[in-house]
Amino acid sequence: MSEWKARRFWKVADIRTADAGWEVVLDDRPLRTPGKQALILPTEGLARAVAAEWDAQEQEIRPQTMPLTRAANSAIEKVRPQFAGVAAMLAEYAGTDLLSYRATDPQELVDLQAQGWDPIIDWAAERHDARLAVTAGVMPVAQDPAVLGRLHDRVAGLDLFGLTALHDLVTLPGSLILGLAVIEGRLDAEGAFALSRIDEEYQIRQWGEDEEAQEAAAARLVAMRDAERLWQLTRTD
């Protein structure tokens, strides 16, 4: 028996203003989330980008080709009802941030981490008065509760779609500081991804590539770029 697949049922994907935002319409029928909630988007730019994803669908609907639609659905159905919990979860990454844990050897890797990560640690200290403690090895290092509190307040102060965008920019590299650096323009997604991969790329140079691991890494980079685009599209109309 062949698997059932959703098919394109509309001719035109367009946008229109809605209460407190914009909505995408398929032949004048407003798009809704999978849970049948109203899909209200905060900016015209995001609405047009979501409409373009739907317009690009051919006979078969392929959700994997619609990252902005999926992110918008997630914002409304998953993030909004537990906003405080999501913000707290992301803020907790500062307590075990990737940038805080350095190699003890070889010296080349130690130097690469310092060259890549120290400027971002310095940026967070200057930007948010939030200098993370750094340690060598895997033993936990305690972070100043006041620093963690300031970082939590920054995350909790985001809007719904901003918090949704930040999610992948933090969880994929394993660093709150890298995620904040992207949404605040200190890095782009590709730069943050590269910094998060210093250890892995060093090992690849020593031992060669693993095809499966490289494919997984490439998928993470795509997801981070999509999250960065979501952030940018929700900042201005």
CB 5 within 8 A of CB 61: yes
Domain 82-233, architecture per CATH: Orthogonal Bundle (1.10)
Place of tokens 């999926």: 70
CATH 3.30.2180.10 spans which residues of the chain? 1-64
User: Can you list the alpha helix ranges (DSSP code H) found in the chain?
Assistant: 44-55, 67-74, 83-91, 107-128, 145-156, 160-171, 176-183, 189-196, 198-207, 211-233
pLDDT digits 0-9 by tens, 159-197: 999 999 999 999 999 999 999 999 999 999 999 999 999
The pLDDT of residue 3 is 46
CATH for the stretch 1-64 = 3.30.2180.10
* Sign of the alpha-carbon torsion through 129, 130, 134, 139: positive
Angle at alpha carbon of residue 142, lines to 137 and 145, rounded to 5° = 155
- Per-residue pLDDT tens for 101-114? 999 999 999 999 99
Residue 83, token pair as written in the block: 């906003």
What does pTM read for this prediction? 0.94
